[in-house]
Structure 1
Amino acid sequence: MLKGFKDFIMRGNVLDLAVAVVMGTAFTAVVTAVVTNLINPLIASVGGSNVSGLAWQIVGGNEKSVMDIGAVLTAIINFVIIAAVVYFALVLPVKKIQERRKRGEEPGPAEPTQVELLAEIRDLLRDQQQRSSR
């Protein structure tokens, strides 16, 4: 039972799916930050500016017109950190384990050549003829 579960987990497509979910979740934060802090303020603004740290208020007094570059940078940094952790904690170790498994496998038996097959057929026919002549 545990061997089957281990084989299931070690299959590449399960790991790829897990990585895709984690990366998708992290990328969602980046997209949300860009839309919320860059695009929405542009739509809400009509003009003007007010600079405050990494946030920029396009229209003074209009809180919806704040472009928060810091939040976007934070989301991008979080995405890169999550991607690095997923790669080094999941992808890289599983690749190494799969390579070890492949190295441990012995090559299967070689396919017989045509000469070997013909010799085997000859021997079988000879044995068959000897049995029928008895």
Structure 2
Amino acid sequence: MMKNITAAITLLISQSLLADTGQRPDVQSVAAGKPLYEQYCLSCHKENGVGEKPIPPLIKEPGYLTAMPLNETSHAWHHGDEQLVATILSGLQRTQRMPAFKGTLTEQQASQIVAYIKSLWSDRIIACQGPKHMSCM
């Protein structure tokens, strides 16, 4: 019984670290996330999350993926906050360019980066974030 209560409390605490999918993040999380974004994400995802320019397929190395935009011009907002945090912490299997930051960043720090990324999105995009993107555009 005590294990179940401890697990439930842990889940509630960890969930509170994440912004809510479809909700504008709070200003404190955005402010904490911006320097983390600048330190860990900016070199590839660029200023204001514009991402890298695509490389023509004829000169691109196999397995090389350009860093996608994280602003609302690409599909990052199609994912919920938990999935975005998981991607930051676990990286992407299909490219070494998006490393796993687990062990470097905490879940709270990854959540703060997501908050900063979401600050780049309009209210319309925020309202359509995650699974709702299929039905609200």
**TM-score category, normalised to shorter length:** under 0.3
TM-score by length of 2: 0.24
Bigger-Rg structure (1/2): 1
* Higher relative contact order, structure no. (Cα contacts within 8 Å, ≥ 6 residues apart): 2
TM-score by length of 1: 0.25
More helix by share: 1
